[in-house]
Structure 1
Amino acid sequence: MPKTTANGIEIHYEEHGKPEDPAMLLIMGFGAQLTLWPDELVDELVGHGFRVIRYDNRDIGLSQKFDGVKAPGLVKMTLMSKIGLTPRVPYTLADMAADGIGLLDALGIDRAHIVGASMGGMIAQHVAAKYPDRCLSFTQVFSTTGNPKLPPAKKEALQALVTRPKSDAEEELVSHGIMLARTIGSPGYPSPEERLRERTLTSVRRSFYPEGPTRHLSAIVADGDRSSMLGDISVPTLVLHGEDDPLVPCEGGKHTAECIPNAKLKTIPGWGHDLPLELVDELAGEIASHARGSVAA
C-alpha cells in the first residue's frame, strides 16, 4: 500500500480508478481502518467514474501512531466541556482534516469530492467549512453535529464501542470485533456470519492498535458542538443516515442537514451504523449522483 507524508505525518492510502477521473476522498471514522469502506462500495464508485482514495486516519491502521501521547480521561473531558472549557488533547478533528487536505496535496489533487463516515463525517465537516476551495462536494454518512441536546447513542452501542477486548489473542479480538459489528450494525441488513468473521480477521491481522481510539475519542469530545460552524458551509452537501442507527441516532444526520444551507437529506429504514452489502448500490448511487450534480451545478 502506498504511503506519503501529509500534514507532516505518514499516511497510508489506496487509490482506485483512473487518474484522470474526478477525485473522491473517503474519510473513515472512530478507530476504524480504511478497510471498513467495503471494497464493493469502492468498486461501485469507481464504476460511476471516480478516482477513489481511501486512507487510514492518523493513529490507526498503517498510518503514523502517536505512541506515548496521553489523552485526558473521558470523565474529565466531559466535565470540562459541560462548563465551557476546552480540554487539551493530543490532536483535534481540525488537525485530522488537515491530514486529508495534506494527502490531496501530496497526490497533486486540487479539488475532490469529500465523503466522511461517522467521525470521518465530523472531520469532513471541518474540511468543507475550512477548505471550501478544495471541495467539489461533501457527503456525510451517519454522522452528527455534536449538539449535546441531540439524542445519545443507545447504552449497549456505546458500551460495545468503548469496551476493550479481554485479551490480545487473535480469536478474542475477532470475537470482540464481531460483537461490536452486530451491536451497532443494521437490524434490517444483518451481515452473514462468514463475511463478518472474514472481514474482522483481515482487519485484526492488518493492524491492532487500541491506543489510537482513545486519542480519537478525545478529539471528538474536545471538538464540542459544530452547529455554528456548519452554517458557514457553502459546499453542496448530501447527508445520508440510517433510521435505525443505534450509535449515532438519525437525529444527528437530520440536524446536520438543518444546519448546512441547502443540504439534502436521505434516510434509509433498517440501516444502522455500518455499510451493508445490500445497500452498496443505493449508497454508491446517491453519492455519485450528488457528486455529479454538484459539478454540473
Structure 2
Amino acid sequence: MREIEEIGNVEKRYEVLDMVGDGGQGDLFLGRDRRSGARVALKLQKARDLGPESNFSWAGRQLLKEGTRMMMLTEIQGIPEIIATRTHRGRRCLIMEFIEGRQLQNVLLAGRPVRHPENVASIIGQLCEILQEVHDRNLVHCDLKPENVIVQPDGSLRLIDMGHAIMAGEATSHERGTRGWASPEQSDACSQGLTRRADIFGLGCILLEMTVMRLPYGGLEERAEPGSPVLPADKLAELPPDFASLALWMVRWEAQERPADVREVFDRLRRHLPRLGSQRPSRRLRPDPTEYYRTHPPRL
C-alpha cells in the first residue's frame, strides 16, 4: 500500500485503488475516474532510482511513445483505448481503459495442455484478427505472450502492453520483446527493421506453449542459436496433427520463411473455428474463448 499512498491522485481526477501489475517499463494500477465513476487502468513510470537523470528521462519518453502508439490504434476492438497521458510528481502516466478479465497465461495454466481444436483456433484466431488491424496501421507489437493477452468474461480477447511496439521496418538498436517469445531478429539490433513476421513468430510461440507446454529453441532457459532444434523430439511428437505444420511454419528461424501475414495463419485455422450457434466444447476454458466465434462471425 505504500506505493499507492505515494502516488495518491493523478491531477485530482483519478483515484488510485490498487496496484495490479509490476512490469519492466512501468507499474500498473487500478483507478477510478472521479467524474464518471468508471474504472481505469493507470500505467505509471517507475520511480527514479539511484541511476542518472538521463535514464529516468529516457524511460519517461518511452512511456509517452507507448501512449502515442496506442493512439494510432484507436477504435481497434481488441486494443484498450488510451484516455489521456499525464505527468504525476515528475513521473509519466498513461490513463487507459480498464479491461475486465483474466490473463491468458492463467487461463492456460488452469487448462493445459490446451489441444481441443476449437479452443486452440479460437485463441489464435482472435489474436490474428487483432494483429491484422495492428499491422494494417504499420505497427509491430513485438511482445506477444500470454501475459499480454486478457480473456474477457464473454470469451473475447484483448491485446495489451504496447511498450515494445515499433513501426514496421524501423531499425532497432537493441533487443526488443521477451526472451522465449521474441523472434530471433528481435534478440539483437536489427538494422533492416522488424516486420509483422516477428509477431507471427510470437503467435507461434503461444500456439506451442498451449499445446505442448514448451517454447521453441530452448525457450527461457537459453539464448536461441541458429541451427538449434525447434523442440525436443518428445515434444514434437506431442504436437496435435491439426496444428503441427502450422506451428512449425510460424516459428521458422528465418523471418522470410514464416507466413507473410496473419491472414495466412487464420486461413489455416478457419475450419477448426466454432460455428455460429454451436454448443460449447466438452472441455472448455474459463473464460471460454470459443464463445466469441459461437456468437460472432469471423472478421478475417
TM-score (norm 1): 0.26
Bigger relative contact order, structure 1 or 2 (CA pairs below 8 A, ≥6 apart): 1
TM-score (norm 2): 0.26
